[in-house]
Amino acid sequence: MSTMLFVNLPVADVMRSRAFFTSLGFRFDALFCDQGTVCFEVNDGCRVVLHGAQRFAGYTAGSIADPRNGGRETLVALSAPSRDEVDRRADAALANGGTHLRDAEDLGFMYCRSFCDPDGHAWEVMWMDPSQIPQDSEV
């Protein structure tokens, strides 16, 4: 069995978060969902698990960071198959309760946009064509 990654984040309202990420095109895994937790699949090896804050606090050995106050505990970056898909997901996020994090970045070989979900967690959607990365002879 290959290693899987589960990104766990606290949220204030589990159902609001489910609606938000559904609007971005994610599907939820019923095996890991209940009243206090929802889980969506990023790909075969990665899931994002959104826990109500009280449940999340039961799993942590410390206090819960509040990203709405400007601190970042993480930036979750998701790849997309095209520039258009980057725009579609970022636009959907902003239209469904997300907020602008920083301006789009276009480096030619990479294009990304970032936003915060309704709980203030930072997300980035990015497209990249590794074959177009400039080769720097001095590196």
Tokens linked to 113: 């946009």
Task: State the pLDDT at residue 9.
Answer: 92
State the Cα–Cα distance between residues 42 and 33, nearest whole angstrom: 15
Task: State the pLDDT at residue 139.
Answer: 37
CB atoms within 10 A of CB 63: 7
Listed residue (37, 42, 48) closest to 15, CA to CA: 37
Task: State the pLDDT at residue 132.
Answer: 86
Place of tokens 């001095």: 138
Residues whose CB is less than 8 angstroms from the CB of residue 28 and which lie 6 or more positions away in sequence, other chains included: 18, 21, 22, 38, 39, 40, 41
> With the C-alpha atoms ordered 58, 32, 114, 80, is the resulting torsion angle positive or negative?
positive
Binned average pLDDT, 10 residues per bin, the chain of 139 residues: 84 94 92 89 92 84 76 84 96 96 93 94 92 67
Task: State the pLDDT at residue 137.
Answer: 44
Task: State the pLDDT at residue 136.
Answer: 66
Task: State the pLDDT at residue 83.
Answer: 96
Residues whose CB is less than 8 angstroms from the CB of residue 97 and which lie 6 or more positions away in sequence, other chains included: 16, 20, 117, 118
Task: State the pLDDT at residue 64.
Answer: 81
> With the C-alpha atoms ordered 43, 4, 113, 69, is the resulting torsion angle positive or negative?
positive
Task: State the pLDDT at residue 106.
Answer: 95
